[in-house]
Chain A
Amino acid sequence: MTLERQERRLGWGLVAPALVWTGAFFALPFLAMVALSFAHMEGRTVVRGFDAGNYVRAFTDWTMVKALVNSLEITLIVTAVSVLLAYPLAAIIAFRVPARWQRLALLMAVLPFWTSYVVRSYAWLLVLGQKGVVNTTLLALGLIAEPLQMASTRFATVTGFVHFFVMLLTLTIYANLIQLSPNYLRAAADLGAGRWQVFRHVVLPLTLPGVVTGAFLTFVLCIGDYITPQILGGNTELTLPQLIMLQMGRSGNFPLASALSVVLMGIVTLAYLASARWVRLDRV
């Protein structure tokens, strides 16, 4: 046996466990789900077959289309708002805060990240609810006469999401900003660029890949999330994950739930293709 073959055998031996695991518990279930999405229900039993009916329903049934549109709208708003809010914060921490305080500032900026995900949405309910902190404060200040309806609205869902993703994006954008060699900034300033020009011509283009990667992650996590819209948005307007859970739970319609999941997957894939030029998943 040559050395190279020996090495390869060893290599295969080391990758195999991870590949088998991912294959058995990820790829295979995924394919099974895709197969299931082409089945249909007769009463409460699943009938296997090749039937595109679920997909037709996903794109024609008004409830489904509405959920799809809601999900897309919410996700796009959340992604845009989060990036726009997080970039300045990350930049202030990276460029304004003295170096020795930066770690602390960053740690503080993401501290609520470490509360339980479910609890974080719940906490926003306490802030935005009828009798919540915001309404109580505004009423006490006499700025409003009636409590504002914020919980169980899209506003609450977006707020809960933005809160989470601002923290995530601040972290990733900061990591990108701090990697910029300070000499790039000095060189640009030295050649006559003002603050805005340095940002526009040097900082932004150089951090764009990181920002797009972060935005893509935000998109993926946001569009697939069930908890935040369920707790904060309630059932006033359904998102795709809520609809999927509903199909599984109440009606036990696994084929339709699977088809909707495949649609969700398709959207994520499209988002990936749209941003693929910049996204480096192996650099996350």
Chain B
Amino acid sequence: MTAGVLVRGVSQRYGQAMALDDVSLEIAAGEYVVLLGPSGCGKTTLLNLIGGFAEPAAGAVLIGGRDMAGVAPKDRPTTTVFQDYALFPHMTLAENVGFGLRMRGAGKAERAARADEMLALVGLAGRGDRRPHELSGGQRQRVALARALAVSPDVLLLDEPLGALDLKLRRAMQDELKAIQRKVGTTFVHVTHDQEEAMAIADRIVVMQAGRIADMGPPREVYLRPKSLFSAGFMGEVNRIEVAGGRSALGPMAVADGVLCIRPEAISAGGALRLGRCVVRDMAFFGAYLRAHVVPEAAPGMVLVVHLPQGAEVAAGDVLDLGADAHVVL
């Protein structure tokens, strides 16, 4: 089961602070959307409004075309995977997973069968009689997912679901989340502050900043053609060069006025947009590439970050003539 979500002109304030400021967003049925942003940007607030844990001060939330105003969380076609998982410690895994069905009056056999099925889906087949405290963090995360999916929600909300896991496990779980979403087809709305996680799983990323949507689109687009300086910086490292009247600190620049943004990996010796001669200040080996700080001869006060090919033979003090292959002006 799956349904789309329509957020229309939603605002929410906490005391003086504007948590959400006139946010509109349309999520298609079966889409995997990631709300990305730093803490306090309003992404969790937005998730809570969809889940029904808070009511918007203004605007409306529609799920599957139905206005959710005044509809309690228990009556919404959404379920949530909480950041701390919120597994009931006094219940076994099977009881946890079967809880939603029990609340809907399902019989014991049906609950047990569904719990088995869902635990198998998340790779915990046969562990139904364990209790949450016997599990590792990653396993708890899976149980929370199974519990939320067991009631066949139209929309699954995930509040930093991987936040408590260590990096390696997080990367592994990302792939799994994506695979499970493909399998069940439910709309997933996932909140995170980790842009790599967002790119790894999202069909579409919504970058949020200070209660507003700063950018949105598929990962590739948001990364390569960000629509705001904030989103450019949040999605990854970026070199910023101010351009006014076709001139910059590096000399004449044939681009529109604004801030010229260039990703470190877009800079190379052969790049079309010439940046001029630069002195390598220092460099470090990062495995897939060499990360170097270079100082343009034309602007000794500026430092650019450049990713050079793994095998490049460069040393501190060398002079390189560099150009950019891709850029954006914001």
Binding site for B on A (CB under 8 A): 181, 183-184, 186-194, 197, 201-202, 205-206
Contact = CB atoms under 8 A, between A and B. Distances in A.
29 contacts: A183-B84, A184-B86, A186-B53, A186-B73, A186-B82, A186-B86, A187-B82, A187-B147, A188-B99, A189-B73, A189-B74, A190-B51, A190-B52, A190-B78, A190-B80, A190-B148, A191-B74, A191-B103, A192-B100, A192-B104, A192-B151, A193-B103, A194-B74, A194-B103, A197-B103, A201-B88, A201-B102, A202-B88, A205-B90
A146 to B, nearest CB: 53
B100 A191 contact: yes
Interface of B: 51-53, 72-75, 78-80, 82-84, 86, 88-90, 99-100, 102-104, 147-148, 151
Contacts of B89: 206
A268 B269 CA distance: 86
A189 B102 CA distance: 12
Given A190-B78, A191-B79, 19 more contacts: A181-B86, A183-B82, A183-B86, A186-B53, A187-B80, A187-B82, A189-B74, A190-B52, A191-B74, A191-B99, A191-B100, A191-B103, A191-B148, A191-B151, A192-B151, A194-B103, A201-B102, A202-B88, A206-B88
A197 B99 CA distance: 11
Per DSSP, are chain A's interface residues mostly helix, strand or loop, or mixed? Answer: helix
Contacts of A181: 84, 86
Contacts of A190: 51-53, 73-74, 78-80, 148
Contacts of A187: 80, 82, 86, 88, 147
B147 A191 contact: yes
Given A201-B99, A205-B90, A206-B90, A189 B82 contact: no
A31 to B, nearest CB: 40
Nearest to A209: B90
Nearest to B100: A191
Contacts of A184: 86, 88
A19 to B, nearest CB: 33
Contacts of A191: 74, 79, 99-100, 103, 147-148, 151
A190 B99 CA distance: 11
Nearest to A204: B90
Contact of B80 (A186, A197, A201): A186
Contacts of A189: 72-74
A201 B100 CA distance: 11
Contacts of A206: 88-90
B86 to A, nearest CB: 4
